């Protein structure tokens, strides 16, 4: 997909102005750290940009701040998720606060979804985090369903 100069500039700006939650998740997804899957930041999907996307398995991850709790934003999120689905992407949503407070649990939920979406023939093997002293692995501190937000809220 060829991006216009404006789209490329917009995506670059989003990456440069990432939130603390986006920075935290990106540090755990980048460089194929999660089962060797390649995640992209601010990947264009139709008229939108996914916070994170793994095209290999069809997964988009959206991180939502408090403004997404408003009814209008929730309706827009449903539309956005529907557009992503039209491009073959399943959406996982997480609150920024959960990402910042329960990073390992969020990563564990993402890992479970990655394993579920990966084709059975693919051999996914856990890769150790390159971040020493930060608990690097993927401990399950609570069930994944506790943190993952459904895209069809309402």
- 83-108 pLDDT, tens digit each: 999 999 999 999 999 999 999 999 99
To 5 degrees, how large is the angle CA 89–CA 91–CA 77? Answer: 115
pLDDT for res 132 = 36
pLDDT of residue 82 exceeding 70, the answer is yes
Split at pLDDT 50, 70, 90, the class of 78 is very high
pLDDT of residue 70 exceeding 50, the answer is yes
Confidence (pTM): 0.70
Number of C-alpha atoms within 13 angstroms, CB side, residue 52?
A: 29
3-state helix, strand, coil in the chain (%, to 5): 45, 15, 40
Residue 4 DSSP symbol: P
pLDDT of residue 71 exceeding 60, the answer is yes
pLDDT for res 53 = 95
Average pLDDT over residues 113-122: 78
Q: Are 152 and 79 in contact (CB under 8 A)?
A: no
Q: Tell me the backbone φ, ψ of residue 41, rounded to 5 degrees.
A: -95, 140
Average pLDDT over residues 119-143: 43
Buried b (16+ CB within 10 A) or exposed e, 82-117: ebbeeeebbbbbbbbebbbebbbbbbbbbbbbbeee
CATH number assigned to the domain with residue range 5-146, chosen from the 4 options 3.30.565.10, 3.40.50.300, 3.40.960.10, 1.10.275.10 = 3.40.960.10
């Amino acid at each position: 997909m060829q991006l216009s100069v404006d789209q490329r500039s917009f995506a670059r700006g989003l990456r440069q102005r990432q939130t603390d939650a986006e920075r935290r998740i990106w540090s755990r997804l980048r460089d194929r750290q999660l089962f060797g899957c390649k995640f992209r930041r601010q990947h264009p999907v139709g008229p939108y940009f996914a916070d994170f996307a793994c095209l290999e398995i069809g997964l988009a991850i959206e991180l939502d701040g408090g403004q997404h709790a408003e009814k209008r934003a929730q309706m827009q999120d449903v539309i956005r998720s529907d557009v992503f689905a039209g491009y073959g992407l399943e959406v996982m949503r997480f609150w920024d606060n959960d990402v910042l407070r329960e990073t390992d649990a969020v990563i564990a939920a993402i890992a479970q979804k990655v394993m579920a979406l990966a084709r059975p023939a693919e051999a996914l093997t856990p890769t150790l985090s390159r971040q020493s002293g930060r608990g690097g692995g993927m401990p399950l501190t609570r069930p994944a369903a506790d943190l993952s937000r459904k895209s069809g809220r309402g």
